[in-house]
Amino acid sequence: MNHYDAMRLFVQAAETASFTQAAGILGVPKASVSNAVKQLETRLGARLFTRTTRRVTLTQEGRMCLDRCKDILADMDELDSLFSAGKTVGGKLRVDMPHALACAAVIPNLPGFLAQHPDLELDLSTTDRAVDLLREGFDCVLRVGAVRDSSLIARPLGELPQINCASPHYLEKFGEPRTLDDLRAHRLVMYAAAPGARDPGWQYFDGERYAHVPMGGVLTVNGVDAYQAACLAGLGMIQVPAYGVCNHLASGALREVMSEWRAAPLPVTLLYADRRHAPLRLRVFMQWLADLIGQTYPAAARGARRP
């Protein structure tokens, strides 16, 4: 095993705090990760990990080595791409993004992107939970909504407007709300991403800031697909990014309501690890993704205009 391969395995093991997980992400036997770490420890004359039966933890020397290895590998990636203008980008990328956005915009446009870069392999995860980019081995993640992880580099792509929706069956039963006072006689599909969390209610702009009208509901969900399905079933109204329900609006399965009382637009952000230089394949993909979001949802690229 050459020195650079050993460093890549060591970095992955350090970021996931697991030899087994690092091996799975990189597609190599666990023994390869162990041998890489032993090779580095022998070469450097220092112990890089404290090992227990459940996990591995970096020593002080290991933390110093991790920073230096990241810099060296970033320099090597930059050197590899120095004369690559006009050449095909290759390698593997692991990316995570929300399911609805992936299906609505990204996947339909992937054939063209991958045709331009036939040596690039994309491992695409579509979840609505906040994945741990480092521990789970992702190169970048696309997030819709607030971003709280300050340890990552955040590249804002704009904002996506939200609309209010209800099914025709719901509106036949409860009537169509037209004012904030009307909401007292209506119900929401409640959304709680975390156990024990409470949905604050109907969000709207009061002329100065975004506020909430507390509302009740008969169902609480923790996933985007279930949130839309509940609305389609007539279990309540929802406030949702417009891109996720455009097909339902076009077919008449959902109708927009209370268009003058919308929730705040949601920020769209690309997150990637804090490294001095991102690999060329990652830079190319992130730029393509940023351009795609801007072209597909022009309001996001401008930043949605608040009322």
Residue 166 has pLDDT above 90, yes or no: yes
Where is the domain boundary, 58, 81, 104?
A: 81
Longest dimension (CA), the chain: 75
Place of tokens 């045709």: 115
Question: Rounded to an integer, what distance in angstroms lies between the CA atom of residue 118 and that of residue 123?
Answer: 14
- Closest C-alpha among 104, 14, 103 to residue 67: 14
Same domain for 285 and 252: no
**In-domain check, residue 86:** no
pTM score, whole prediction: 0.68
DSSP string, 35-56: HHHHHHHHHHTS--EEE-SS-E
User: Among 87-91, 134-138, 158-162, whose mean pLDDT is lowest?
Assistant: 87-91
Per-residue pLDDT of 169-187, as tens digits, reads 999 999 999 999 999 999 9
Per-residue pLDDT of 29-71, as tens digits, reads 889 998 988 988 888 888 998 887 677 888 888 888 888 887 7
Whether 218 and 138 have beta carbons less than 8 Å apart is answered as no
Owning domain of residue 109: 91-160+266-302
Which residues are CB-contacts of 7 (< 8 A; sequence separation ≥ 6)? 36, 40, 69, 72, 73
**CATH code of the domain containing 170:** 3.40.190.10
Same domain for 137 and 274: yes
Residue 302 has pLDDT above 60, yes or no: no
* Alpha-carbon distances of 220 from 74, 202, 230, 233, rounded to whole Å: 45, 14, 9, 14
Q: What share of the chain has pLDDT > 90, as a percent?
A: 36
Name the domain count of the chain.
3
DSSP string, 290-305: HHHHHHH-HHHHH-PP
The predicted structure's pLDDT at residue 303: 44
Same domain for 145 and 212: no
Per-residue pLDDT of 129-149, as tens digits, reads 778 887 787 889 999 888 876
Extract the tokens encoding 243.
């891109």
Per-residue pLDDT of 283-294, as tens digits, reads 889 999 999 988
Same domain for 218 and 173: yes
Beta bridge partners of 48: none
Where is the domain boundary, 27, 62, 81?
A: 81
Question: Rounded to an integer, what distance in angstroms lies between the CA atom of residue 37 and that of residue 47?
Answer: 9
The predicted structure's pLDDT at residue 86: 54
Same domain for 246 and 176: yes
Q: How far is CA 173 from the centre of its chain?
A: 37
Extract the tokens encoding 94.
């692991």
